[in-house]
A = this chain, B = another copy of it.
Amino acid sequence: MTETNIQAPDLPTAADVFAAAERLHGQIHRTPLVTSSSLNQLLGAEIHFKCEHLQKVGAFKARGAANAVLQLPPGTEMVATHSSGNHGAALAWAAAQQGIRCTVVMPENAPAAKKTAVAAYGAEILYCAPTLAARESTLAELVAKTGAHVVPPFDDARIIAGQGTVAQEIVGQCRELGFSPDLVVAPVGGGGLLAGVALAMSALAPDVRVLGAEPAGADDAQRSFRSGTRVTEQVPETIADGLRTTLGVRNFAVIRERVSDIVTVSETGILTALELLWRRTKQLVEPSAAVGLAAVMEHSARFRNKRVVVVLSGGNMDFAAVAGLLADR
């Protein structure tokens, strides 16, 4: 831990994940595991997909956001964040559930579907220029003016613990099905999901290998993991828009300790996996959610004859644009 000084005082523990699961009971869906016999045959492995695209707001992000909102300091009247993706909608939803006001700072050029989702959950949108600097300064101004409590998208102990509840469910569901998985694969962007999953698995099923999967065009997590030093700058180039962020400080601290490895996948591999998921499982997942299956396909030797749980992280996208990409190949 010496190189990067990441032993922050507020790193989440496995106990935080279990507490989150109690807190979230009845607030979120216990999403199903699905399998496809034709995919299993094709891949020579037994794959169970954890369907977080069927979660509230269509992404695992609902877990972390709700876990944070349910632990706000007493008297908090308003939360805020900046987001161009699923976290904004998740926080808007979680705040609305508790009757708390929410403002999401969004770049003017955010996808229309994301703006619609945030507004539909009753949050206010504050537009800013499409740069990270503008987002942060706009959010800071808002906080100074309103005293809103900021809920960050991934670099936050409550968020990591909330996302980890996915893994607690996976362990229980596999037990009900009468098996223990050999590996669990989760996509990694900012690292909220992967850190949470690794934290829960290390406590509940330490023999299960946890693998992160990310696009080769946004491989900061693999470079951070392998070098031991968190990479903070990259120019991401990938269709997996949910995975363009760089790894958070707390996320890296958990991941480097508890994840077995991080593998990268090609853009072609992501599209191939996405098309297989659509065709074989009929589940409308977004490109970021296909990165786990792409990893199984592009690193097949690691998965052959194994029992694997792959987390499908979300299902929000511009359908026509994504379907067009698949058709144009």
With both beta carbons as reference points, the residue of chain B lying nearest to A37 in the complex is identified as: B56
Is A320 part of the binding interface, using a Cβ–Cβ cutoff of 8 Å? yes
State whether the Cβ of A315 lies closer than 8 Å to any Cβ in chain B.
yes
Contact A319 B326, beta carbon cutoff 8 Å: yes
Rounded to whole Å, the gap between the CB of A137 and the closest CB of chain B is 33
By the criterion CB–CB under 8 Å, are A320 and B315 in contact?
no
Which residues of A from 274 to 298 have beta carbons under 8 Å from B? 278, 281-285
CA distance A101 to B282 in the complex (A): 28
A32-B32, A324-B324 are contacts. A282–B54 as well, Cβ < 8 Å?
yes
Complex partner residue of A284 from B32, B282, B327, CB under 8 angstroms:
B282
Contacts of A162 in B (CB 8 A): none
A282/B320 in contact, CB under 8 A:
no
* Number of chain A interface residues as a range: 20 to 34
Nearest-neighbor residue (CB-CB) of A286 within chain B: B282
Set B278, B281, B315, B318: member contacting A319, Cβ < 8 A: B278
Judge if A72 is at the interface, Cβ distance under 8 Å.
no
Chain B residues with CB under 8 Å of A235's CB are none
Do B32 and A315 have beta carbons less than 8 Å apart? Answer: no
Q: Which residues of B contact A54 (CB under 8 A)?
A: 34, 281-282
A323: Cβ under 8 A from any B Cβ: yes
Q: Measured between alpha carbons, how far is A114 from B200 in the docked complex, in Å?
A: 44
Q: Is A107 located at the chain interface by the 8 A CB criterion?
A: no
- Please report which residues of chain A, range 15-71, place their CB below 8 angstroms from some CB of chain B when the two chains form the complex: 32, 34, 53-54, 58
Q: How distant is the Cα of A284 from the Cα of B284 in the complex, in angstroms?
A: 6
Q: Which of B34, B281, B285, B323 contacts A323 (CB 8 A)?
A: B323
Task: Specify which of B282, B315, B324, B327 is in contact with A315 (CB 8 Å cutoff).
Answer: B282
Bound Cα distance from A315 to B299, whole angstroms: 29
| In the complex, residue of chain B having the shortest beta-carbon distance to the beta carbon of A32 | B32
Bound form: Cα–Cα A32–B327 in Å:
29
Complex CA–CA separation, A324 to B325 (angstroms): 11
Which residues from chain B contact A327 at a C-beta distance below 8 Å? Answer: 318-321
Most B CB contacts (10 A, CB to CB) among A283, A323, A324 go to: A323
CB distance from A306 to the nearest CB of B (A): 24
**Which of A54, A282, A283 is the most central at the interface, judged by chain B CB atoms within 10 Å of its CB?**
A282
Closest 8 CB pairs of A and B: A320-B327, A323-B323, A282-B315, A320-B323, A282-B284, A319-B323, A53-B282, A284-B284
Given contacts A320-B326, A323-B323, 6 further A-B contacts (CB under 8 A): A32-B32, A282-B315, A284-B284, A319-B323, A320-B327, A322-B323
